[in-house]
Amino acid sequence: MQTLAQLKSGELAGIKRLTLSENLTAFPVEILTLASSLEVLDLSNNRLTTLPAELAQLTQLKIIFASNNLFEALPEVLGLCVNLEMVGFKSNRIRQVAEHALPAQLRWLILTDNQIVTLPDSLGQRPRLQKLALAGNRLTHLPQTLAQSVNLELVRISANQLSHCPEQLLSLPKLAWFAFAGNPFSRSDDRVNQVPMIASSRYSLAQVLGQGASGVISQALWNSPQSEFPEAIAVKVFKGEVTSDGYPDDELQACLKVGNHPNLVRSLAQVNEPGHLALIMNLIPAHFTNLGLPPSLDSCTRDTFSLGFSLSIVQIDKMIAQMDAVFDHLHANQVCHGDLYAHNTLFDAQANIIFGDFGAASLYQMLTPAQQGQVKRIERRALAHFIEDLLGVCAEHDQGSGDYQRLRQRVVEIQGQALLG
């Protein structure tokens, strides 16, 4: 992160990335002096309400973040930025998105947690659009023009007011990660009670193990001896009312509905108290580690991996077989995971995997049989990408093997089946 003082002094001349968070109420005009170099501008966590028309002078600008500000409309000047690809205005007060506010080169749009009721038809007229995050708004419908978004791969529309399943999305040829829980069309009054309800006073949180968009996972200790549950447990305490993927309660319901499977984190109990929603789970053994890393700004929707990381074809084959079983189990229970990625997968030295993170999961038993089939085909594309990503880190000496070629052909077949329906 840089400072406004550094910017004004000229110390930042020629930089490509600028992050300013100083409770700003006005756009610092000195940013315009970086027009020939600036590619990424992050003005999140300020108090901005507008951007000047002169922003279009930043001709090298590719990415702008302005989350956690006070915007009530998406600035129309964004549509004039000739090279702008990624727009992130999460957690503002945006009600209006004008027809011309979306840049022509738009590839990634994040408008999560705003107050948007409608979106312009121009959204479906941005041919490069790959990633669309709209959870936590007030959308009652989506533009029909989204049927033209043939490159759209990831969509988050959870926690809105959509009364009908958006058919224009279901047939998109590349859509692979789809989250839609928490809308009237996907609402279910059936509560899943496969695990007991317990009081949060029965345990104490210990060290934090990890956290994501929807909550914080901690190791926990029982406050008194008991025989009902394993001694080693983890607790996920859900955050707030809405996350980047949707409502915490929808995630909890998906975790419970999917039930138990050897390659899923096992749910043991739930807590539902005022201000405290939590899921008690088996503690994952310490020898498991993350299989992948989340997508980068460059990869957009595809996973990344640590530099030099590789797997043998034997390991890959075993992992894929386990993920196949997870996929079948999820959809046998009519749960769309929505985030089937290597970065949501843990593995050990024996290539055993544990799959988790149900933040983007959606139940779909309320949809028509045809819609259910389309949802499953969408997720099957994510499975194909999972296989393809693992083959991308296959050890070089295994890339000519018969198993490698077999799995490569399987990716082609899955993608073909998804296109054919």
Backbone phi, psi, residue 218, to 5°: -130, 150
Sort residue 240 into left (φ over 0), alpha (ψ -120 to 50) or beta.
left
Q: What is the CATH number of the domain that holds 107?
A: 3.80.10.10
2 and 119 in a single domain? The answer is yes
Q: Is the pLDDT of residue 129 over 90?
A: yes
Task: Give the DSSP per-residue string, 229-240.
Answer: S-SSEEEEEEPS
13 and 147 in a single domain? The answer is yes
pLDDT digits 0-9 by tens, 390-405: 999 999 999 999 999 9
E-assigned strand segments in 124-193: 131-133, 154-156, 177-179
Least confident of 2-11, 41-50, 76-85, 189-198: 189-198
Domain ends where: 263, 282, 301? 282
Contact 325, 352 (CB under 8 A): no
Q: What is the CATH number of the domain that holds 239?
A: 3.30.200.20
| Residue 194 lies inside a defined structural domain of this protein | no
48 and 137 in a single domain? The answer is yes
| pLDDT score of 276 | 87
262 and 302 in a single domain? The answer is no
| Residue 253 lies inside a defined structural domain of this protein | yes
Q: Which of 167, 130, 170 is nearest to 151 (CA)?
A: 130
Q: What is the CATH number of the domain that holds 311?
A: 1.10.510.10
11 and 40 in a single domain? The answer is yes
CB-based burial label for 311 (10 Å; 0-12, 13-18, 19+):
buried
- Per the structure, how many domains does the chain have? 3
Domain ends where: 282, 310, 342? 282
Least confident of 27-41, 72-86, 117-131, 262-276: 262-276
Contact 268, 282 (CB under 8 A): yes
| Residue 178 lies inside a defined structural domain of this protein | no
237 and 371 in a single domain? The answer is no
Q: Establish whether 174 is an annotated binding residue.
A: no
For the chain, give the mean pLDDT.
94
| pLDDT score of 246 | 85
134 and 224 in a single domain? The answer is no
| Residue 174 lies inside a defined structural domain of this protein | no
Strand-pairing partners, residue 350, are: none
Under DSSP, the state recorded for 146 is G
pLDDT class of 420 with cuts at 50, 70, 90 = low
Q: Is the pLDDT of residue 419 over 70?
A: no
| pLDDT score of 121 | 98
266 and 309 in a single domain? The answer is no
Least confident of 94-108, 356-370, 389-403, 407-421: 407-421
- Cα–Cα dist 357/213, whole Å: 10
| Residue 193 lies inside a defined structural domain of this protein | no
271 and 301 in a single domain? The answer is no
Element (H or E) spanning 385, and its range? helix 369-391
pLDDT digits 0-9 by tens, 350-381: 999 999 889 999 999 999 999 999 999 999 99
pLDDT class of 29 with cuts at 50, 70, 90 = very high
| Residue 183 lies inside a defined structural domain of this protein | no
The residue segments making up the domain with residue 316 are 289-420
| Residue 163 lies inside a defined structural domain of this protein | no
Contact 66, 48 (CB under 8 A): yes
- Please compute the mean of the pLDDT values over residues 65-78 and round it to a whole number: 98
**pTM for the model:** 0.94
Q: Is the pLDDT of residue 19 over 60?
A: yes
| Residue 171 lies inside a defined structural domain of this protein | no
Half-sphere exposure of 171 (CA within 13 A, CB side): 9
Domain ends where: 246, 263, 282? 282
Q: Which of 385, 398, 369, 389 is nearest to 170 (CA)?
A: 369
295 and 261 in a single domain? The answer is no
pLDDT class of 215 with cuts at 50, 70, 90 = confident
pLDDT digits 0-9 by tens, 275-332: 889 999 999 999 999 999 999 999 999 999 999 999 999 999 999 999 999 999 999 9
Q: Is the pLDDT of residue 62 over 60?
A: yes
CB-based burial label for 139 (10 Å; 0-12, 13-18, 19+):
buried
277 and 388 in a single domain? The answer is no
pLDDT class of 48 with cuts at 50, 70, 90 = very high
4 and 48 in a single domain? The answer is yes
Least confident of 9-18, 188-197, 336-345, 354-363: 188-197
